[in-house]
Amino acid sequence: MIIKILGSGCNNCVRLEANARKAAEELGITAEFVKVKEMADIAAYGVMRTPGLVVDEKVVSFGKVLSPEDIKPLISK
């Protein structure tokens, strides 16, 4: 599984990545985490508000920091 965090590296982006890592760890899921910081690359996903969360090339959230509990159902499918 590849989980991408879309954003410039702001505090919200850092928090979202930490929450996604925690959710994956708690579920026992092995995932590769990728940071996407270039605005052109972020816009290519159709995301205009960061942070964004992409799971296996599908945008599952943007514009908010999800908790680990919110992320778990998005990555356990």
Instruction: Point out the residues that are catalytic.
Output: 10, 13
Over 90: is that where the pLDDT of 9 sits?
Answer: no
| Residues 12-32 pLDDT 10s | 999 999 999 999 999 999 999
- Maximal C-alpha separation, the chain: 33
Distance of CA 50 to the CA centre of its chain: 10
Count of CB atoms situated within 10 Å of the CB of 33? 13
| Residues 48-70 pLDDT 10s | 899 999 999 999 999 999 999 99
Reported pTM: 0.92
